[in-house]
Structure 1
Amino acid sequence: MNQDKRAFMFISPHFDDVILSCASTLMELMNQGHTCKVLTVFGGCPSVRFQPGEIARQYAAEDLGLFEDEIEGDHLSILVARRLQEDQQAFRHLPGVQVEVLSFPDAIYRENKGQPYYRTEADLFGIPDKQDEDIFLPKIETYLQSCDLARKYTWVFPAISKHVDHRLLTKAGLRLMSQGYPVLFYSEFPYWQQHNEFLQDGWRQLELRNSVYTPVKRAAVLEYKTQLLGLFGEEAETKINNGGVLSEAELFWIQETDTQAWRVFRSLSPEPLQT
């Protein structure tokens, strides 16, 4: 690869996170000749013994258009399959971006002897379960390292969401960085609309805007049909098509000393805003 061109690995906790947060940036990176891959980590189905908790039922009912008391284990696997299909359709709008989906289950599906770690929304946006920290996170880190034995990638991890899956991956990104991997972070949309603090020393935020890609980003987001109600409320498709709801801004966190990353990312937007 040309020394001026780089390979980027974007880490998406769930099927929609990178498209919502980074789609325009991905497209401009590809346009400039860089290589981009998206690795969706929590794309697996729950185990057959899993008994859905309150939050799993709530989300599945909302996504599938059912009542909560109708939700059974099979519905969860149906939902995961549908979300995977939506993700594949979304990335057809971004030709050239490589995509890989891992089989680690979403937080709301993780369990011990059939019982969920995270039963409520408060649990889901709280502190990661000790078993996730001690057992699950090291497995994720080991897999991520196996993807880059030649250390050719610049890794782009989620930064600011309080969702336990995002928190685990933020920690994984910091650990990879401590081992010498080049790492930067992105603020997850729509979470950054309420909270946008990356509590690490030596990092600065870069805001990118590139309106030329907005129509394609909008079309890609619209493919995530099961998620639109939960993300954007009633008449979400109309709001998106009318130019509302989505943000043109895409936010990244880059180490102050990473001159290569700053050079590449400042070139991606007509007027990048450093804060």
Structure 2
Amino acid sequence: MNQDKRAFMFISPHFDDVVLSCASTLMELVNQGHTCKVLTVFGGCPSVRFQPGEIARQYAAEDLGLFEDEIEGEHLSILVARRLQEDQRAFRHLAGVQVEVLTFPDAIYRENKGQPYYRTEEDLFGIPDKQDEADFLPKIETYLQSCDLARKYTWVFPAVSKHVDHQLLTKAGLRLMSQGYPVLFYSEFPYWQQYNEFSQDGWHQLELRNSVYMPVKRAAVLEYKTQLLGLFGEEAETKIGSGGVLSETELFWIQETDTQVWPVFRAISPEPLQT
């Protein structure tokens, strides 16, 4: 690879997070000759013994258009398969971006002896379960290191969402950084509309705006049909299609001492960087 070109690994907790938050930046990086790969971490099905909790039933019913009392274990696997198909269609709009999906189950499907760690929405946006964290972090850390034995990637992790899956991956990013891997973070849309604080010293937030790629970004987001109602409410598809709801701004957190990534982001910004 040309020494002026870099390889970026964007970490997406779920199937839609990086597309919602970083699609325009991905496209501009690729168009400038950089390599971009998206690694979706929580793309797996629940175990066969899993008994859905309140939040798993609620989300599955909403996404599949069913009543909560109709939801059984098989519906969860159907939903995961459908979301994977949506993700594959979405990335067809983002030419040149590589994609890999891991099989760790979503937080609402993770369990201990068949019982969910996270039963309610309050649980899901609260403190990660200690046992869940102790099981997950070493596994994902080992896998991520195995992906980058040559240390060619700059890693891009989620930063601000209170969803437990996002919190765990923020911790994973900080752990990789402590081992010398180059890491930056992105603010997850739409979560940053309510909360956008990255509690780490020595980091600057960058605002990237690029209207050129908004039609592609809208088309990609619209492929996530199971998620539109839950994320954006009634008539979300119409609103997105007419240019509403989504943000032209994409937010990143970069260490003020990072002399390698700053020039890249200056080069991909069509206007002066906002910090």
Aligned-pair CA distance for 1:2: 0.3
Asked if 1:153 is matched to 2:142, the reply is: no
Displacement of 1:268 after TM fit?
1.3
Q: Distance in 1 between matches of 2:272 and 2:250?
A: 10
Measured on the aligned residues, the alpha-carbon RMSD in Å equals 0.6
- After superposition, the C-alpha distances for 1:5-36 in whole angstroms (9 at most, x for unaligned) are 00000000000000000000000000000000
Secondary structure of the equivalent of 2:138?
helix
> Which shows bigger deviation, 8-17 or 128-137?
128-137
| Superposed displacement of residue 270, structure 1 | 1.3
Deviation at 1:134, TM superposition (A): 1.2
Task: Give the SS at the match of 2:206.
Answer: strand
CA deviations 1:134-159 (Å, max 9, x no partner) are 12111011101100000000000000
TM-superposed CA distance for 1:242, in Å, is: 1.1
Question: TM-score when scaled to structure 2?
Answer: 0.99
Deviations 1:177-220 (A, max 9, x none): 00000000000000000000000000000000010000000000
| 8 Å contact kept, 1:240–1:246 | yes
How much has 1:272 moved relative to structure 2?
3.9
Secondary structure of 2:14's partner? Answer: coil
Name the SS for the 2:234 alignment partner.
coil
Check the 8 A contact 1:51/1:115 in 2, yes or no: yes
Contact 1:207–1:272 (CA under 8 A) maintained in structure 2: no
Alpha-carbon contact 1:64-1:226 (below 8 Å) kept: yes
SS at match of 1:253: strand
For residues 84 and 135 of structure 1, the distance between their equivalents in structure 2, rounded to whole angstroms, comes to: 24
> Any runs of at least 4 consecutive aligned residues in structure 1 with deviations exceeding 2 A, and if so which?
272-275
Equivalent residue for 2:65? 65
- Do residues 184 (structure 1) and 184 (structure 2) align? yes
Q: Tell me the residue number matched to 1:29.
A: 29
In 1, the alpha carbon distance for the partners of 2:84 and 2:272 equals 33
Following the alignment from structure 1 to structure 2, what is the Cα–Cα distance between the partners of residues 41 and 220? 19
What pairs up with 1:8-157 in 2 under 5 angstroms? 8-157=8-157
Question: Higher mean Cα deviation, 20-29 or 136-145?
Answer: 136-145
Alpha-carbon distance change, 165 to 272 in structure 1, aligned in 2, over 3 angstroms: farther
Shift of 1:274: 2.9
Summarize the Cα distance change of 1:156–1:33 in structure 2 as closer, same or farther, 3 Å threshold: same
Residue aligned with 2:251, SS? strand
1:44 aligns to what SS in structure 2? coil
Question: 1:57 deviation in Å?
Answer: 0.2
Contact in 2 for aligned 1:187/1:252 (Cα 8 Å):
yes
Instruction: State whether residues 204 and 274 of structure 1, in contact with CA within 8 Å, keep that contact through their aligned partners in structure 2.
Output: no
Q: Which runs of 5+ in 2 are unaligned?
A: none
In structure 1, C-alpha distance between the alignment counterparts of 2:131 and 2:220, rounded to whole Å: 35
Q: For 2:31 and 2:272, locate their aligned partners in 1 and report how far apart those are by CA, in whole Å.
A: 17
Could you tell me the percent identity over the aligned residues? 92
Q: Indicate the SS of the match to 1:212.
A: helix
Q: Do 1:204 and 1:253's aligned partners in 2 also have CA atoms closer than 8 Å?
A: yes
Describe the SS at the equivalent of 1:226. helix
Q: CA deviation at 1:46?
A: 0.1
* Distance in 2 separating the partners of 1:219 and 1:183: 29
Distance 1:272 1:128, change over 3 A: farther
- Does structure 2 retain, via aligned residues, the 8 Å contact 1:206–1:272? no
Superposition TM-score, scaled by structure 1 size: 0.99
Cα drift, residue 273 of structure 1: 3.2
CA distance in 1, matches of 2:269, 2:171: 28
